[in-house]
Structure formats: C-alpha cells, structure tokens
Amino acid sequence: MKFLFRDQFPASAPRLQARVVDKGALPEGLEPVVRAGAAAARFEGKTGQVFETYVERGDAVVRLALAGAGDPKDEGRLAALEKAGAALAAKYRTSGEKSMVLDLSGSVSTVEQAIAVLMGLRLRGWRHDAYRTTLREDQKATLEEAMVVGAPAGTEAAWEIESCIAEGVEFTKKLVTEPANVIYPESFVAACRDRFEGTGAELTVLDEAEMRELGMGALLGVAQGSARPPRILAIRWNGGKPGDKPVAFVGKGVTFDTGGISIKPAAGMEDMKWDMGGAGAVAGTMLALVLRRAKANVVGVCGLVENMPDGKAQRPGDVVTSMAGKTVEVINTDAEGRLVLCDTLTWTQKTFGPSTVVDLATLTGAIIISLGHEYAGMFTNNDELAGKLDAAGKASGDKVWRFPLGPAYDKMIESPIADMKNVGPRYGGSITAAQFLQRFIDNGTPWAHLDIAGTVWTDKPGATWGKGASGFGVRLLDRLVRDNYEG
C-alpha cells in the first residue's frame, strides 16, 4: 500500500474516508446521524474498534469509518495507534475500495504518532495471494492507497525512512510464507540477490564444498539427508565509520524441517516451512537497514539447510566435528538448528570479528510452552545487551523475555563420548539449547540468542499481521541498531 500526503481533502475525494478517534472523543463537525449511529453501535473509540456508516456530503455518498485509538493517556499510545491503522486495513483490504482518505487531524499530534497509524495500516494490509487462483471477487484484495490528510509537519519525510522498515518486514513475511518447494537454500539466496541488487549491500555466499573445506561438520551433518545443497549467506552493510567492528545478526535458516531420522509427527509438519524464520528475519532486517541507509556497520548471516530423512541422513548417536573443532554427539536429529547455528556463528566471528552477536532461531518448542506466542525468549551473556534488547522490544512491539544461563544447565548437555550432546533432558529445553550455542561464542563477545519459535508464525491475526507470518524480529533489530549502534 502506498501513501499520498495532502494538506487538505482532495477535491475529488475517494468514497471511503476514515478518521482516527480517541476513546470518548468523537471529532467535532461530525454529522448528527453519525454521532447517533456511533452511539447506537456502542462505538466508544476503544483500541482497534471500527464503526462504519454512510453519509451524504454534497452530491456524494461517503463511506465513513471511525477507528478507535483508545485513551490517549494510557501507556502504549503508539501501539494503540498502530492497532487503529491495522483495524482499518483488516476491514477494508477486500472492501472493493481502491483508495481511502485517512484523516489524522484531532487524535494524532506528533510525527511519531502519525507514523504508528501508517505502519499499522501498511503492515496489516499485507497479503500473499500468489497461489490463490479461485478467489471470489469479494475475497480479492483491492485497497491500494491512502490519501493522508491532517498529518503533522514532517510526517511525509519521516515515512520515507519508516517505509523501509515496512519493506523489510514484508520481505521477511514473504520468505517465511513461501512453501519449501519455492524457498530452499539456493532459492533463498537467489531471492536475496534479486532484492538487494543495486542497494550497496555486499553479499557473500558459501557453497557446500567451501563449507566442507572450512570443517563445518555440524551444519553439513544436518544437510546431508537432503537433495537440496546447503548455503551460507552473508549480507554486509558498511554504513558506519570505516574500520569499526560490525554488529552481527545470525539466523537459523532450516527451510524445511522434517526432524530427520528423528522424524516429527505428520500432523502439522507442513508448518515447518517457517523453520527458517530466523534467517528470514535477518534478511528482512538487513533490507530495512540498507534501504534506510543506516549509519552503522552491520552484517547479517544466514545458515541455510533442509533437514530430511534420506538414507544418507545423519543418525541419532552420530558424532560430528564443528568448525570450531568441538565434537557433538547427535542424540536427536530434530535438534538440528543448534548444529546449523554453531558453525554459522563460528564462521561469522572468524570472518567479520563483530563487536556484538545476536542470533535468531525458531529453536525449540519448549519456548512456546514457556511464553506462548507473546514474547520471544532471550538468552545472553551480557547484561547491557539484555537491557538494549529489552528496550528495543518494548519500543518496537517485538517483545522479548530474558531466561537464565548457568553452569548447572551446561552440565545437562555433557556427553560421555564427545565434547557435548546436541540435546539435554526433557526439562529446560530452551535453556540447554542456548547453553549449547554459548559454547561457540568467543570469550568476551557480547552475545544474545533469541528463540523466536512462538512469534514468527501465528494461527490467528495479531496487532499488525494476519494469520501466518508475523515478520517478527525486523522491527526489534532495526530499533536495536538505531538506538545503540548508529553514529
């Protein structure tokens, strides 16, 4: 969806007109019939509430919508405004209307507030209909643009930057939504090559032979059961001071996860196309940073494999040697993400020497048991980084919750025949997975692991997304960079 900014209502305004309304404060100038209708419908301006009516204005019949933004005195004002914009998108995306006038006067007083409404409208309006060939006319997406009036001065210029974040989120959603026969390691790389072409980002790709030469036995052990060869993709953006160490974002990119020999139950296995959600978030974040020309040095690295139960697949009990030289006894082939990440983390640190490392992975089902779909689990060796991520999560809406790390948990992944096992006992599964990854972080490097298994995909619509891919992680990492690492 695109936005056209106007100082006043256009002479030939679209039939659909919308206003953002605070709780208990209908705008001045509304027709009596609108006020009466809103009262009859019990519209109070609660967050996300929408009231629709039709009124005659001059010679035209106007389809008028009021979107509730809640009490302006409540905490979470920006989130409420996002939900107001998102509610309009959800209601009118398939309404038959191609354009709307969005009136921000009255309830929106700052550029930041205006951007929140626009971001909600843009993100909630995204759909992926590429494979839906039998949609009825009333099911097809129609809304293409919004004419924005009454926005504070500077909103248009600010949106030029913030729209880059929206593009990054949408790119992540697309990658995560595509089926595994469309997005696999090679095609993930191809999609990124196409999208980053001409942006100034530097892309580096490692193929299977190069990974073997580097000794990435853990990652290659996961990949060996698939006909799809693995890849490592690095996207580098040098927008900061020359010579400054980059911030590194590392994503798990298992483009489909059957569980391997430790095969998953059939029910719900189709969802495992989104087991590359960490890599998708990293790619989308890098796109956002590059498009908005972030003044920071950042590298995003994606470890890309497919985990299949072929006759050549690794077995429970196999021992693999990682790039770091550490050996791993593979107890469960469905605990493959940490095997992919450990080699990807080692290569990232050796190649780029980052100042900070944050990895994102749909790593454990246990994190969903702990946090549901509201928060991502955060594990870190650095209290300062924990504070930065927590603040970025609260500001962006991509929320994180910190979990512990410690020697007692570390003992749970000790192996009698190798340096470590790839899983511990049933309890504390998310923590032992993070303990595993921590063993591959260079001493002193600030590092955080985000387990996003519960947040990248949802079975019901959320604040700014429909059912399916949420785009989680892009806004979190962009906020982390802009608040802490830009000059």
Domain limits of the chain? 2-150, 164-484
- Domain 2-150 architecture: 3-Layer(aba) Sandwich (3.40)
**CATH code matching the domain that covers 164-484, chosen among 3.60.21.10, 3.40.630.10, 1.10.10.10, 3.40.50.10490:** 3.40.630.10
The model carries a pTM of 0.96
Name the residue with tokens 């409404």.
117
Annotated catalytic sites, by residue? Answer: 264, 338
Per the CB < 8 A criterion, the answer to whether 6 and 149 are in contact is: yes
The residue among 119, 115, 290, 282 whose CA lies nearest residue 198 is 290
Q: What's phi and psi for 252, nearest 5 deg?
A: -75, 125
DSSP structure class, residue 74:
S
CA 7 to the chain's CA centroid: 33
Per the CB < 8 A criterion, the answer to whether 483 and 391 are in contact is: yes
**DSSP bridge partners of 451:** 361, 377
Per the CB < 8 A criterion, the answer to whether 95 and 141 are in contact is: no
**DSSP bridge partners of 423:** none
Question: Around 202, how many Cα atoms within 13 Å sit in the side-chain half-sphere?
Answer: 9
Q: What's phi and psi for 387, nearest 5 deg?
A: -65, -40
Q: How far apart are the first and last CA of the chain?
A: 31
State how far the Cα of 370 lies from the Cα of 473, in Å rounded to an integer.
19
Q: Using only C-alpha atoms, what is the Rg of the chain?
A: 24
Name the residue with tokens 């196409």.
194
Same fold across 2-150 and 164-484: no
| pLDDT digits (tens), the chain, 487 positions | 899 998 877 777 889 999 999 998 998 889 999 999 999 999 999 999 999 999 998 888 999 999 999 999 998 999 999 999 999 999 999 999 999 999 999 889 999 999 999 999 999 999 999 999 999 998 999 999 999 999 999 999 999 999 999 999 999 999 999 999 999 999 999 999 999 999 999 999 999 999 999 999 999 999 999 999 999 999 999 999 999 999 999 999 999 999 999 999 999 999 999 999 999 999 999 999 999 999 999 999 999 999 999 999 999 999 999 999 999 999 999 999 999 999 999 999 999 999 999 999 999 999 999 999 999 999 999 999 999 999 999 999 999 999 999 999 999 999 999 999 999 999 999 999 999 999 999 988 999 999 999 999 998 888 899 999 999 999 999 999 999 999 7
State how far the Cα of 37 lies from the Cα of 410, in Å rounded to an integer.
62
Non-local CB neighbours of 134 within 8 Å, separated by 6+ positions: none
